[in-house]
Amino acid sequence: MLRSIRDGDKLLVGLDGELDHFCAQSVRRELDSQISDPTIRQLILDFSGLTFMDSSGIGVILGRYRILRERGGTVAVIHMNEHISRIFHMSGMGKVIRQLDSKQEARR
Amino acid sequence: MNSHNEMQTTFLSVAENESFARVVIAAFAVQLSPTVSEIADIKTAVSEAVTNAIVHGYEGTRGMVTLRATIQDRSLLTIEVQDSGKGIPDVTKAMEPFYTTHPEQERSGMGFAVMQTFMDDLTVHSTPGSGTTVRMSKRIHSGGGY
Protein backbone atom coordinates (compact mmCIF):
# COMPACT_ATOMS: atom_id res chain seq x y z
CA MET A 1 0.00 0.00 0.00
CA LEU A 2 1.30 3.43 -0.90
CA ARG A 3 0.93 6.11 1.76
CA SER A 4 -1.24 8.96 0.62
CA ILE A 5 -2.67 12.21 1.95
CA ARG A 6 -5.67 13.84 0.30
CA ASP A 7 -6.28 17.57 0.53
CA GLY A 8 -9.05 18.87 -1.72
CA ASP A 9 -8.11 18.22 -5.33
CA LYS A 10 -4.55 17.41 -4.26
CA LEU A 11 -3.15 13.96 -3.52
CA LEU A 12 0.30 13.38 -2.02
CA VAL A 13 1.57 9.83 -2.48
CA GLY A 14 4.76 8.47 -0.92
CA LEU A 15 6.84 5.95 -2.87
CA ASP A 16 9.05 3.56 -0.92
CA GLY A 17 11.85 1.15 -1.72
CA GLU A 18 12.96 0.60 -5.29
CA LEU A 19 11.20 1.50 -8.53
CA ASP A 20 12.44 -0.76 -11.31
CA HIS A 21 10.70 -2.73 -14.05
CA PHE A 22 9.73 -5.45 -11.56
CA CYS A 23 8.07 -3.02 -9.13
CA ALA A 24 6.68 -0.72 -11.84
CA GLN A 25 3.57 -2.73 -12.53
CA SER A 26 2.30 -2.82 -8.95
CA VAL A 27 3.21 0.85 -8.34
CA ARG A 28 1.39 1.81 -11.54
CA ARG A 29 -1.69 -0.20 -10.54
CA GLU A 30 -1.77 1.35 -7.09
CA LEU A 31 -1.22 4.89 -8.28
CA ASP A 32 -3.98 4.48 -10.86
CA SER A 33 -6.35 3.27 -8.19
CA GLN A 34 -5.43 6.23 -5.96
CA ILE A 35 -5.99 8.77 -8.74
CA SER A 36 -9.14 7.11 -10.11
CA ASP A 37 -11.26 9.81 -8.45
CA PRO A 38 -11.57 12.37 -11.28
CA THR A 39 -11.73 15.27 -8.82
CA ILE A 40 -8.03 14.75 -8.08
CA ARG A 41 -6.23 17.36 -10.16
CA GLN A 42 -2.82 17.53 -8.53
CA LEU A 43 -0.72 14.46 -7.91
CA ILE A 44 2.42 14.98 -5.84
CA LEU A 45 4.83 12.05 -5.65
CA ASP A 46 6.98 12.05 -2.52
CA PHE A 47 10.28 10.26 -3.23
CA SER A 48 11.75 10.56 0.26
CA GLY A 49 11.41 6.80 0.83
CA LEU A 50 12.60 5.82 -2.64
CA THR A 51 16.11 4.38 -2.62
CA PHE A 52 16.47 3.39 -6.28
CA MET A 53 14.88 4.26 -9.59
CA ASP A 54 15.82 3.42 -13.17
CA SER A 55 14.18 4.35 -16.47
CA SER A 56 11.17 2.14 -15.69
CA GLY A 57 10.28 4.83 -13.15
CA ILE A 58 10.28 7.47 -15.88
CA GLY A 59 7.61 5.47 -17.71
CA VAL A 60 5.48 5.21 -14.56
CA ILE A 61 5.67 8.95 -13.80
CA LEU A 62 5.04 10.06 -17.38
CA GLY A 63 2.12 7.63 -17.67
CA ARG A 64 0.44 9.19 -14.61
CA TYR A 65 1.25 12.66 -15.98
CA ARG A 66 -0.72 11.80 -19.14
CA ILE A 67 -3.73 10.68 -17.09
CA LEU A 68 -3.72 13.88 -15.00
CA ARG A 69 -3.15 16.07 -18.06
CA GLU A 70 -6.27 14.57 -19.70
CA ARG A 71 -8.34 16.03 -16.86
CA GLY A 72 -6.45 19.32 -16.83
CA GLY A 73 -4.34 18.34 -13.84
CA THR A 74 -0.65 18.27 -12.98
CA VAL A 75 1.99 16.00 -11.48
CA ALA A 76 4.78 17.21 -9.24
CA VAL A 77 7.60 15.44 -7.40
CA ILE A 78 9.19 16.15 -4.06
CA HIS A 79 12.23 14.90 -2.10
CA MET A 80 14.25 13.33 -4.89
CA ASN A 81 17.70 12.17 -3.94
CA GLU A 82 20.64 13.22 -6.12
CA HIS A 83 20.66 9.99 -8.11
CA ILE A 84 16.94 10.04 -8.90
CA SER A 85 17.21 13.72 -9.72
CA ARG A 86 19.81 12.95 -12.41
CA ILE A 87 17.50 10.41 -14.07
CA PHE A 88 14.61 12.83 -13.76
CA HIS A 89 16.48 15.60 -15.54
CA MET A 90 18.18 13.52 -18.22
CA SER A 91 14.79 12.16 -19.28
CA GLY A 92 13.47 15.68 -19.87
CA MET A 93 10.69 15.12 -17.31
CA GLY A 94 11.64 18.38 -15.65
CA LYS A 95 9.95 20.20 -18.53
CA VAL A 96 6.48 18.87 -17.73
CA ILE A 97 6.71 17.79 -14.11
CA ARG A 98 7.35 20.33 -11.41
CA GLN A 99 9.92 19.63 -8.74
CA LEU A 100 8.88 20.95 -5.32
CA ASP A 101 11.44 21.43 -2.61
CA SER A 102 9.56 20.77 0.60
CA LYS A 103 6.31 19.57 2.07
CA GLN A 104 5.45 23.20 2.80
CA GLU A 105 5.68 23.81 -0.94
CA ALA A 106 3.44 20.82 -1.53
CA ARG A 107 0.77 22.29 0.68
CA ARG A 108 0.86 25.66 -1.03
CA MET B 1 43.69 -5.72 -3.55
CA ASN B 2 44.60 -7.69 -6.66
CA SER B 3 45.01 -5.64 -9.82
CA HIS B 4 42.77 -8.06 -11.68
CA ASN B 5 39.54 -9.72 -10.69
CA GLU B 6 36.52 -11.14 -12.42
CA MET B 7 33.11 -12.65 -11.73
CA GLN B 8 30.27 -14.21 -13.64
CA THR B 9 26.75 -15.16 -12.68
CA THR B 10 23.88 -16.51 -14.73
CA PHE B 11 20.22 -16.20 -13.82
CA LEU B 12 16.76 -16.74 -15.27
CA SER B 13 15.20 -13.81 -17.16
CA VAL B 14 12.53 -12.99 -14.58
CA ALA B 15 11.97 -9.44 -13.34
CA GLU B 16 12.71 -10.44 -9.72
CA ASN B 17 16.33 -10.88 -10.80
CA GLU B 18 16.74 -7.21 -11.73
CA SER B 19 17.35 -6.33 -8.07
CA PHE B 20 19.50 -9.48 -7.68
CA ALA B 21 21.77 -8.28 -10.50
CA ARG B 22 22.05 -4.82 -8.93
CA VAL B 23 23.07 -6.26 -5.57
CA VAL B 24 25.64 -8.59 -7.20
CA ILE B 25 27.33 -5.84 -9.20
CA ALA B 26 27.39 -3.49 -6.21
CA ALA B 27 28.98 -6.19 -4.04
CA PHE B 28 31.64 -6.86 -6.68
CA ALA B 29 32.39 -3.18 -7.36
CA VAL B 30 32.78 -2.31 -3.68
CA GLN B 31 36.44 -3.50 -3.72
CA LEU B 32 37.19 -0.43 -5.88
CA SER B 33 36.04 1.83 -3.02
CA PRO B 34 33.53 3.66 -5.20
CA THR B 35 31.55 6.64 -3.97
CA VAL B 36 27.86 6.21 -3.20
CA SER B 37 27.15 8.07 -6.42
CA GLU B 38 29.39 5.76 -8.49
CA ILE B 39 27.69 2.70 -7.00
CA ALA B 40 24.29 4.18 -7.90
CA ASP B 41 25.49 4.77 -11.49
CA ILE B 42 26.72 1.18 -11.85
CA LYS B 43 23.58 -0.34 -10.31
CA THR B 44 21.37 1.75 -12.57
CA ALA B 45 23.27 0.84 -15.75
CA VAL B 46 23.12 -2.88 -14.88
CA SER B 47 19.43 -2.58 -14.02
CA GLU B 48 18.76 -1.09 -17.47
CA ALA B 49 20.74 -3.75 -19.33
CA VAL B 50 19.15 -6.64 -17.41
CA THR B 51 15.67 -5.15 -17.88
CA ASN B 52 16.32 -4.90 -21.63
CA ALA B 53 17.36 -8.56 -21.72
CA ILE B 54 14.18 -9.59 -19.90
CA VAL B 55 11.69 -7.26 -21.61
CA HIS B 56 13.13 -7.18 -25.14
CA GLY B 57 15.63 -10.03 -25.46
CA TYR B 58 13.32 -12.75 -24.21
CA GLU B 59 10.03 -10.83 -24.57
CA GLY B 60 7.58 -13.05 -22.74
CA THR B 61 9.71 -16.18 -23.05
CA ARG B 62 12.32 -17.31 -20.56
CA GLY B 63 16.03 -17.76 -20.95
CA MET B 64 19.24 -17.15 -19.10
CA VAL B 65 20.98 -13.82 -18.60
CA THR B 66 24.70 -13.70 -17.84
CA LEU B 67 26.26 -10.88 -15.87
CA ARG B 68 30.04 -10.68 -16.12
CA ALA B 69 32.37 -8.14 -14.62
CA THR B 70 36.10 -7.60 -14.60
CA ILE B 71 38.38 -5.23 -12.78
CA GLN B 72 41.62 -4.14 -14.44
CA ASP B 73 44.35 -1.76 -13.28
CA ARG B 74 42.70 -1.57 -9.85
CA SER B 75 40.23 0.95 -11.25
CA LEU B 76 38.59 -0.06 -14.53
CA LEU B 77 35.31 -1.91 -14.13
CA THR B 78 33.97 -3.59 -17.25
CA ILE B 79 30.52 -5.16 -17.19
CA GLU B 80 28.84 -7.42 -19.72
CA VAL B 81 25.17 -8.36 -19.75
CA GLN B 82 24.45 -11.10 -22.23
CA ASP B 83 21.24 -12.78 -23.32
CA SER B 84 20.46 -15.42 -25.93
CA GLY B 85 17.19 -13.82 -26.90
CA LYS B 86 15.81 -12.53 -30.16
CA GLY B 87 18.41 -9.83 -30.70
CA ILE B 88 18.04 -6.25 -31.90
CA PRO B 89 17.59 -5.75 -35.66
CA ASP B 90 18.78 -2.13 -35.63
CA VAL B 91 21.05 -1.29 -32.70
CA THR B 92 21.54 2.34 -33.74
CA LYS B 93 17.78 2.89 -33.77
CA ALA B 94 17.34 1.07 -30.45
CA MET B 95 19.89 3.37 -28.84
CA GLU B 96 18.06 6.57 -29.81
CA PRO B 97 16.62 8.25 -26.71
CA PHE B 98 12.85 7.74 -26.34
CA TYR B 99 12.80 4.98 -28.96
CA THR B 100 10.76 2.07 -27.64
CA THR B 101 9.04 -0.89 -29.20
CA HIS B 102 6.75 -1.10 -26.16
CA PRO B 103 5.05 2.29 -25.59
CA GLU B 104 1.91 0.45 -24.44
CA GLN B 105 3.88 -0.91 -21.47
CA GLU B 106 5.01 2.64 -20.69
CA ARG B 107 8.61 1.79 -21.50
CA SER B 108 10.37 5.14 -21.63
CA GLY B 109 12.93 4.30 -24.31
CA MET B 110 15.65 5.74 -22.09
CA GLY B 111 17.48 2.54 -21.14
CA PHE B 112 20.53 2.91 -23.39
CA ALA B 113 20.67 6.67 -22.78
CA VAL B 114 20.86 5.99 -19.02
CA MET B 115 23.64 3.41 -19.55
CA GLN B 116 25.55 5.89 -21.73
CA THR B 117 25.17 8.69 -19.21
CA PHE B 118 26.12 6.69 -16.12
CA MET B 119 29.02 4.68 -17.59
CA ASP B 120 32.13 5.91 -19.46
CA ASP B 121 31.74 3.61 -22.42
CA LEU B 122 28.99 1.46 -23.94
CA THR B 123 28.98 -0.98 -26.85
CA VAL B 124 26.13 -3.21 -27.95
CA HIS B 125 26.59 -6.31 -30.07
CA SER B 126 23.47 -8.01 -31.26
CA THR B 127 22.65 -10.76 -33.72
CA PRO B 128 18.98 -11.16 -34.57
CA GLY B 129 17.92 -14.65 -33.56
CA SER B 130 20.85 -15.34 -31.28
CA GLY B 131 21.08 -12.60 -28.68
CA THR B 132 22.56 -9.38 -27.41
CA THR B 133 25.65 -8.48 -25.41
CA VAL B 134 25.88 -5.08 -23.75
CA ARG B 135 29.39 -4.16 -22.68
CA MET B 136 30.06 -1.10 -20.60
CA SER B 137 32.92 0.21 -18.56
CA LYS B 138 33.59 2.80 -15.94
CA ARG B 139 36.79 3.98 -14.31
CA ILE B 140 36.37 4.25 -10.56
CA HIS B 141 38.52 6.91 -9.03
CA SER B 142 39.06 5.31 -5.64
CA GLY B 143 38.96 7.35 -2.53
CA GLY B 144 35.25 7.20 -2.00
CA GLY B 145 33.81 4.51 0.15
CA TYR B 146 30.84 4.52 2.39
Is B48 one of the catalytic residues?
yes
| CATH superfamily for domain B5-139 | Histidine kinase-like ATPase, C-terminal domain (3.30.565.10)
Report d(CA B93, CA B100) in Å as an integer: 9
CB–CB contact B48 A54 (8 Å):
yes
Report d(CA B9, CA B24) in Å as an integer: 9
- What are the boundaries of each domain within chain A? 3-107
Please tell us whether the domain made up of A3-107 is placed in CATH 3.40.50.300.
Answer: no
- Walk along chain A (108 residues) and give the pLDDT tens digit of each residue: 789 999 999 999 999 999 999 999 999 999 999 999 999 999 999 999 999 999 999 999 999 999 999 999 999 999 999 999 999 998 888 889 999 987 555 555
**Contact residues, chain B, for A60 at CB < 8 Å:** 106
What interface predicted TM-score (ipTM) does this complex get?
Answer: 0.90
Angle at A100 between CA B105 and CA B47, to 5 degrees: 35
Look at residue B102 and give its three-state secondary structure.
coil
Nearest CA in chain B to A18: B19
Sign of CA dihedral A9, A12, A13, A18: positive
